[in-house]
Chains A and B, each alone.
Chain A
Amino acid sequence: MSEDTFMGVPRNTIDWKPTIDYEKCNYCMECFDFCPHKVFKKQEDDPIKLIVENPLNCVVFCRACSKTCGLDALEFPNKVEVTKKIKETRSGVASGE
């Protein structure tokens, strides 16, 4: 198990990361404080004070940060779609790509 794979496929082929809805986000930083994987980055001097800096650090299928967000400002991709994609990628990998 290399550190860049999930379910046997390269992590960078999997689209799984939070997306910040800046219309809703009030920069409370609960998600930043919560996520131990350094997915988010604070930008103190920027009008946009929080960004998704390391999307590939995000644990695939983890949505725990969104549970800390009272404003529902974090969105994740559709799990079923992502799973389907992973399975497809994996069968491609298995068939000798």
Chain B
Amino acid sequence: MTASPARLTVNAVPVDLTTVPVGERLLDTVRWRLGLKGTKEGCRTGDCGACTVLIDGRSVLSCLTLTHEFTGAAVTTVEGLEGDPTGARVRAAFEKEGALQCGYCTPGFVVALTSLLKERGAEASAEELAEDLGGNLCRCTGYAAIVRAVRRVHGEMP
């Protein structure tokens, strides 16, 4: 009945899902089973965006995702964006603009914005990109520096 083998990849590393309980959230598989703590647990109800990861390149809320739902998919966490050129641009822009304070929401923003830039490329304006980040909450920065970082990275896209 299952369409694909019971596994997926996380940052290109295969994960055998037969060892993962069916009720387990992708957030917990990534953090506690695989030890990738870069993705953060915030509200665990899909309202804050701290748990954002990519599935086949698209941002999703891993706290609302059953790992088993995405057999055959490629999951990317913030750690998986280390060598990603767009990810690197995003990180550099955030760093230059000081677009972080406590850092808890930061991986979620990095992953979400990286995915948006790849999805929409040059066609989206900085304002549209910022609007599309509405699902990521930040309590420390007031978003001002994050918006500056979005403008910076948008301006620097090839």
A, B assembled together: no
B binding-site residues for A, Cβ under 8 Å: none
